[in-house]
Structure 1
Amino acid sequence: MNAIPPPPKSPPLPQPPSSRTIPSLEELIKKKKEEEAANSKPKFLSKQERAALALERRSQKVKLEREKQENGKKLFQEFLAHTTEAMEGVIPTGPRTRGPPTGPSSMRNKRPGRTRPDMPPPPPPPPKELPKGEPRTMEQEEAKALKDKYLGLEQPKKKKRKINDKKFNFDWDVQDDTSTDINPLYANRHDAQFYGRGKLAGFDDVDLHKNRTAYVAELVKDGQDQERTRRLMELEQRRAAKVDWQDRPWFEKPLDQMKERDWRIFKEDFSIVTKGGGIPNPIRNWKESNLPKTIMELIAKVGYKEPSPIQRAAIPIGLALRDIIGIAETGSGKTAAFVLPMLSYIMEMPPLDDFNKTNGPYAIALVPTRELAQQIELEANKFAKPVGFKCVSIVGGHTIEEQAYNLREGAEIVIATPGRLIDCLERRVLVLNQCAYVVLDEADRMIDLGFEEAVQGILEALPVQNQKPDTEDAENPVKMSKWIGGKERYRQTVMFSATMPNSLERLARKYLRRPAIVTIGNAGQAVDTVEQRVEFVPEDKKKKRLEEMLNSNEFAAPIIIFVNIKRNCDGLAKVLSNLGWRAVTLHGGKSQDQREAALSQLRAGNADILVATDLAGRGIDVSDVSLVVNYNMAKNIEDYTHRIGRTGRAGKSGVAITLLTNDDQDTFFDLRLMLSKSSISKVPDELRNHEAARTRPGSRPAQKKAAEDTQWTPAIVQNLD
């Protein structure tokens, strides 16, 4: 038996080459990461490549838009063809008509067995035509409108109104008035009444009364219609006797015709603001001040024509025996505002004699500097000496023995600096047993100079039995004018200053009783008569700039120049003397005699320029100062305000020039605000754009604060995590 041969072996399958082996998963992942890394890197293309890409994108966009338009046209054509085919033969050619009805179904021969023929339908009713001119009913109008709409009849178009059509004019023409007034008094029509200041466009109608009076006089002259003329004369006399004060301004009204609104307008005109209860109205002129006749004669003799705003408001309050806090600009006449009520107060006190002259003065005035004390003494003696009162100043620079000699016969008024007055009280040179009138002038400056403790010691040394009660009785002038025990009067305390810091408010709350607060203008702001100029000048070029200002012939003597250091004061005065100017100095290193001599030379015209420190910034009154130069900027804005207040006094104009450097950045912000509040001053661009002038010193800028907050945010987030 033959064996079956084995099947032939199939040839082996071809093996793929080694280059086409399937890559592993790690290789795929690695390859993908490399591609992603390559794609993530920025590709820098040339200008030609970017233009080619932009052109390709634009061509693709245009191609897509064209395809959309062609597809839309194709779909619309298909829709139109389909609609035409579906509606072919269906569109009606006219309204559908129906034949007349054959009758109701009950009348038709439908029942079986009925042989009666159908009843013919009734004929249609003939159309009812209305005669012309006969009105139609509402139903007929609606039917006609439906018929016209169905048949497509054209409706008559409405007439469009033209723009130039005339409208009804409501204006009244004088020629249209056909009425006549028989009484000639009505020939002059009555004008509109304007209340308050009583002026029309700034002018009074003064011709109306003259014309009416001339007309009545003409009637009397003609002698026609005697009875009618007599009545007109009586009417005119009654009208002249009864003046309508309501339309007059406050300066034309008598005092008894002044209303509340008039007083409000009066205060606005003089920038007077008062706070407190029971405050009397200001005075409009010296005649209405109610001052004693002797003082009124002295005011006319001295030459005070019109009272200043602080005098208008403070004098009636002082005469009402009220405590006062007066805030006014420098050079506004504060000295006379408290000297005149003080003299009126002392006139009612018993005269000094051998029994009471050793009990001290009736009034004291505390001031921060010697020069201010001597200036107040000079002003007070203009009124005190003629009425027999003695005024003595107690300041440093003179021996206490000399001042004790001046007080040996007693004095009604004592003007002193706090330090020297404390020395006199401690050495028993002076007592205050009968002092009843206290004035604190430039009180804020006394606090700044460190005299707060001395001022409190002097006020504590005053008698307490005549102190006012801290009740509403302190606002009642009748009760405060009564004598305590028949021999003493209530103490009156007056405080004047140009600014009102917090330390001064604490002092006022402790020693003043229900004071009346009077503010003239804006507290701490210079008067509008001073033009403030600011210049940025390097320190080494200040002398040259000062020489240019003095040689410009724009400013006349006297001139005051302020510096911050004593030795700079003497050095600058020496430089000015070498240039041919007569310069004197005033600072704390000078003796009292030298100070008085310097001021005397400047006032007498023997000196042209005064070079001084802040010692001359308060209370120094030199007439006709045309220029104040801040050779060194003041350390704070309050001292700057008092410095420039040496010019522009008593209503006159003046100029204040300040030379700034980058070392004065602490005052840039306040200086910019003060210049912006002045109506005649301009803020220079260099100061306005300076970084230090944008924020107040000590405040953190908003950008710096935001940067600091951003800097600490990650740390805070990390701590929270």
Structure 2
Amino acid sequence: MSSTRKEPPDLAALLRKRKAEEELASKPRFIPKKERERLEAEKKAKEEEERKRKLVKNGTTPKQSIPTGPKALRNDAPPERVNGGGDRDRDPRDRGNRQGGKRGAGDEDDKRVKMERNDEAELRAKYMGPLVNQSTFSAKKKRRRTAANKFNFDWDADDDTSRPFDPIYAERVEPLFRLGGYETTDELIQRKAEAIRRGDPETGEQRARELLEQHERAKKQAERKNLGKHWSEKSLEDMKERDWRIFKENFGIATKGGAIPNPMRSWQESHLPRRLLNIVADVGYDEPSPIQRAAIPIALQARDLIGVAVTGSGKTAAFLLPLLVYISELPPLAEYNKNDGPYALILAPTRELVQQIESEARKFATPLGFTVVSIVGGHSLEEQAFALRNGAEIIVATPGRLVDCLERRLLVFTQCCYIIMDEADRMIDQGFEEPLTKILDALPVGNEKPDTDDAENPQIMSRYLGGKDRYRQTMMYTATMPPLVEKIAKKYLRRPAIVTIGNAGEAVDTVEQRVEFVAGEDKRKRRLQEILNSGQFKPPIIVFVNIKRNCDMVARDIKGMGFSAVTLHGSKTQEQREAALASLRNGQIDILVATDLAGRGIDVPDVSLVVNFNMANNIESYTHRIGRTGRAGKSGVAITFLGPEDNDVLYDLKQIISKSTISKVPDELRRHEAAQSKPQRGAKKIEDSSGFGGKGGQW
């Protein structure tokens, strides 16, 4: 060993080298299978070489002859022969190791490495101080410990995962379940069970039996739940509670009350008589509306009913069809009972609505042999008495004129057992509460329903009383439920079922609502002219104003713009009203200018635009005004002019527009001070009606 001391290595270089080695060792490295095999072979070769070297070292193998010829000059010859010096050119330490067999090259290397580590430790202690609180954790040892227990994810080449000779896989069958429902047969399951028995003699019988039992359980569960099918794809017997809940949500149907039947999905499932279904098809009712789907099954069970639905939702047919089924089971009118009054009574607030209901009722009643008579103001009592001379199963009337007929003994209700109040909230608004109460009190009391649970039992309510009479059935249809309407309902209806379509008091989603702040009559007329001249809206068009004298004035201005117009208000006679509506329906007139008299009950097909020249006094009237368009599933537009006089309704207007899915609240209305909170003072009283003496409301 040399007496001169080696220079210590650079500390920074040693640290960088060790850090690089640790980072390299800490990184996971994926070794392919071929590479692993190569490394394993090299490792075995080294081990074999080390074993042979130890054998030679211990003298257990004969000495190999030293080549003396040209082979000694080759690169793989022993170094002592190449150098030509033999043992004299070898390091004395090597000679001693080879001669004594106690010390080898490995010991010398270990000694040299130990000296280098001592030098490194001395340098570290000199410049960095002694090591304190040194952790004994070793990442390499940790990795070695955990790597030994890791699962090997490589496939074993000896494993055959395809199993091509297994009879179970050779006779593969269709899956037990498919997306969309249960689509297997018992024959396929039996074949699979037989294949299991043949392929597995030991446990095949048990496995096959378990497969069959699992199939039966799955089959029963699939039949019970009917998974994967929409309610429209299921039969009526397969409909479950969840399906009915989804059905009601799809059509916006909400019901309250005990023992309410499920809605009808189609006319074929309505349980209406076949003859009446043929008439429905002839009239052109392809699909029932939501109120018809919900109300008809309830009415057919002789239940009292409150129907809350937006205007234009098909309420007329919803109460007419069950009414016709009801009176079809009663004795026909003859000489002995034709003067005892009608079987059914329908009340409506306006003449126009009465005539519309009469026209619709005759489409269904006339083919069945029933008579429908309307009693409204504007016609002489003698003419209406003549129409009643042979009796009528159904009477449609306004409350005011009907009270006149009762007081003059032109009509009695001895056998009346079916009452319908259409637009009940409008009748209350027009001041018809007193005549409505008189009419309901004039009905016979012997067939009133009991206010018990029996009123919800269809079997009991369908029985005849005394051989010919049946329990009175009362229905009320309304768009809103003010307190006075609830008061009448509680007094005259017995345990009623309540059907709500959508949200009460809200406009339908087929009407796009627009509002514009236009102050002053002149500016509004100019804006109206711009709208009419834009060509975006085709006739018929309805323009609403608040007072009668404005009707003729606005209509005159519209005619000056080059459009044909007609007016409708309370000062018009019945003949003038009918002529105005007829001219609008047949296309002779483009624009109708009307008061709230036309807000309800006016069914003009294909109205493309409603203009509120003056905003309505309350949000209910506004809702019914814009309901003249967007009817029967078609779309429409409603444009409203606003001014300072409309501050009381701006909050409600903002709320109702914000609930629409196709309308947008303009920024001016959203930021308006009056639209931020509801007015605190009491509701504004409507005093447009001056009585009920057969003329309906005076608008």
TM-score (norm 1): 0.68
Aligned with 1:386: secondary structure?
Answer: helix
**Aligned partner (choices 589, 600, 604) of residue 618 of structure 1:** 600
Aligned with 1:458: secondary structure?
Answer: helix
Q: Which residue of 2 aligns with 1:477?
A: 458
Deviation at 1:158, TM superposition (A): 2.5
Asked whether 1:428 is paired with 2:413, we answer: no
- State how far apart, in whole Å, the 1-side matches of 2:310 and 2:584 are: 23
Asked whether 1:685 is paired with 2:667, we answer: yes
Q: Which residue of 1 aligns with 2:256?
A: 275
Q: Which residue of 2 aligns with 1:647?
A: 629
Q: Which residue of 2 aligns with 1:442?
A: 423
- Structure 1: segments with no counterpart, 5+ residues: 1-149, 194-203, 217-234, 701-721
- State how far apart, in whole Å, the 2-side matches of 1:437 and 1:589 are: 33
Query: 1:165-184 deviations in whole A, cap 9, x for unaligned?
Result: 999799999x9992557356
Q: Which residue of 1 aligns with 2:311?
A: 330
CA root-mean-square deviation = 3.1
- State how far apart, in whole Å, the 1-side matches of 2:253 and 2:373 are: 33
Deviation at 1:511, TM superposition (A): 0.2
Deviation at 1:246, TM superposition (A): 3.3
Q: Which residue of 1 aligns with 2:321?
A: 340
Asked whether 1:305 is paired with 2:286, we answer: yes
Asked whether 1:537 is paired with 2:518, we answer: yes
Amino acid at match of 1:503: L
Deviation at 1:575, TM superposition (A): 1.1
- State how far apart, in whole Å, the 2-side matches of 1:654 and 1:453 are: 37
- State how far apart, in whole Å, the 2-side matches of 1:294 and 1:309 are: 23
Question: In structure 2, do the counterparts of structure 1 residues 608 and 171 end up closer, same or farther at CA, with 3 Å as the change threshold?
Answer: farther
Aligned with 2:307: secondary structure?
Answer: strand
Question: In structure 2, do the counterparts of structure 1 residues 321 and 663 end up closer, same or farther at CA, with 3 Å as the change threshold?
Answer: same
Q: Residues 210-609 of structure 1 correspond to what in structure 2 (within 5 A)?
A: 245-539=226-520, 540-609=522-591
Aligned with 1:359: secondary structure?
Answer: coil
Query: 1:174-212 deviations in whole A, cap 9, x for unaligned?
Result: x9992557356756656686xxxxxxxxxx589x789x9
Contact 2:176 2:184 in 1 (8 A): no
Q: Percent identity?
A: 62
Question: In structure 2, do the counterparts of structure 1 residues 171 and 686 end up closer, same or farther at CA, with 3 Å as the change threshold?
Answer: farther
Deviation at 1:445, TM superposition (A): 0.5
Q: Which residue of 2 aligns with 1:158?
A: 138
- State how far apart, in whole Å, the 2-side matches of 1:637 and 1:579 are: 30
Question: In structure 2, do the counterparts of structure 1 residues 352 and 699 end up closer, same or farther at CA, with 3 Å as the change threshold?
Answer: closer
* Matched residue count: 515
- State how far apart, in whole Å, the 1-side matches of 2:294 and 2:152 are: 54
Q: Which residue of 2 aligns with 1:46?
A: none
Amino acid at match of 2:524: K
Amino acid at match of 2:494: R
Question: In structure 2, do the counterparts of structure 1 residues 284 and 186 end up closer, same or farther at CA, with 3 Å as the change threshold?
Answer: farther
Deviation at 1:245, TM superposition (A): 2.9
Aligned with 2:278: secondary structure?
Answer: helix
Amino acid at match of 2:358: E
Amino acid at match of 1:307: P
Question: In structure 2, do the counterparts of structure 1 residues 476 and 178 end up closer, same or farther at CA, with 3 Å as the change threshold?
Answer: same
Deviation at 1:440, TM superposition (A): 0.3
Amino acid at match of 2:495: R
Question: In structure 2, do the counterparts of structure 1 residues 151 and 694 end up closer, same or farther at CA, with 3 Å as the change threshold?
Answer: closer
Question: In structure 2, do the counterparts of structure 1 residues 153 and 445 end up closer, same or farther at CA, with 3 Å as the change threshold?
Answer: closer
- State how far apart, in whole Å, the 1-side matches of 2:454 and 2:311 are: 33
Question: In structure 2, do the counterparts of structure 1 residues 274 and 169 end up closer, same or farther at CA, with 3 Å as the change threshold?
Answer: farther
**Aligned partner (choices 664, 679, 682) of residue 697 of structure 1:** 679
- State how far apart, in whole Å, the 1-side matches of 2:616 and 2:154 are: 68
Query: 1:452-479 deviations in whole A, cap 9, x for unaligned?
Result: 0100000000000011011000000000
Query: 1:621-673 deviations in whole A, cap 9, x for unaligned?
Result: 11111101101000000000000000111111111110111110010000000
- State how far apart, in whole Å, the 2-side matches of 1:496 and 1:400 are: 28
Query: 1:468-499 deviations in whole A, cap 9, x for unaligned?
Result: 01100000000011101112110000000111
Question: In structure 2, do the counterparts of structure 1 residues 565 and 205 end up closer, same or farther at CA, with 3 Å as the change threshold?
Answer: same
- State how far apart, in whole Å, the 2-side matches of 1:268 and 1:398 are: 45
- State how far apart, in whole Å, the 2-side matches of 1:171 and 1:605 are: 82
Deviation at 1:582, TM superposition (A): 1.2
Question: In structure 2, do the counterparts of structure 1 residues 333 and 153 end up closer, same or farther at CA, with 3 Å as the change threshold?
Answer: closer
Which structure exhibits the higher relative contact order, with contacts defined as CA atoms closer than 8 Å and separated by 6 or more residues?
Answer: 2
Question: In structure 2, do the counterparts of structure 1 residues 482 and 154 end up closer, same or farther at CA, with 3 Å as the change threshold?
Answer: closer
Q: Which residue of 1 aligns with 2:610?
A: 628
Q: Which moved more, 1:247-256 or 1:632-641?
A: 247-256
Deviation at 1:610, TM superposition (A): 0.6
Question: In structure 2, do the counterparts of structure 1 residues 187 and 667 end up closer, same or farther at CA, with 3 Å as the change threshold?
Answer: same
Query: 1:509-561 deviations in whole A, cap 9, x for unaligned?
Result: 00000000000010010111111001111213000110111111111111111
Question: In structure 2, do the counterparts of structure 1 residues 314 and 152 end up closer, same or farther at CA, with 3 Å as the change threshold?
Answer: closer
Deviation at 1:292, TM superposition (A): 1.2
- Structure 2: segments with no counterpart, 5+ residues: 1-129, 192-214, 683-699
Larger Rg: 1
Aligned with 2:139: secondary structure?
Answer: coil
- State how far apart, in whole Å, the 2-side matches of 1:649 and 1:269 are: 19
- State how far apart, in whole Å, the 1-side matches of 2:133 and 2:656 are: 83
Aligned with 2:678: secondary structure?
Answer: coil
- State how far apart, in whole Å, the 1-side matches of 2:244 and 2:597 are: 39
Query: 1:250-306 deviations in whole A, cap 9, x for unaligned?
Result: 111111111111111111111110000011110000000011111111001111010
- State how far apart, in whole Å, the 2-side matches of 1:183 and 1:699 are: 82
Aligned with 1:655: secondary structure?
Answer: strand
Query: 1:107-150 deviations in whole A, cap 9, x for unaligned?
Result: xxxxxxxxxxxxxxxxxxxxxxxxxxxxxxxxxxxxxxxxxxx9
Question: In structure 2, do the counterparts of structure 1 residues 156 and 583 end up closer, same or farther at CA, with 3 Å as the change threshold?
Answer: same
Question: In structure 2, do the counterparts of structure 1 residues 370 and 168 end up closer, same or farther at CA, with 3 Å as the change threshold?
Answer: farther
Contact 2:181 2:228 in 1 (8 A): no
- State how far apart, in whole Å, the 1-side matches of 2:437 and 2:470 are: 22
- State how far apart, in whole Å, the 1-side matches of 2:134 and 2:671 are: 76
Contact 2:346 2:419 in 1 (8 A): yes
Question: In structure 2, do the counterparts of structure 1 residues 355 and 538 end up closer, same or farther at CA, with 3 Å as the change threshold?
Answer: same
- State how far apart, in whole Å, the 2-side matches of 1:334 and 1:654 are: 20
Contact 2:310 2:506 in 1 (8 A): yes
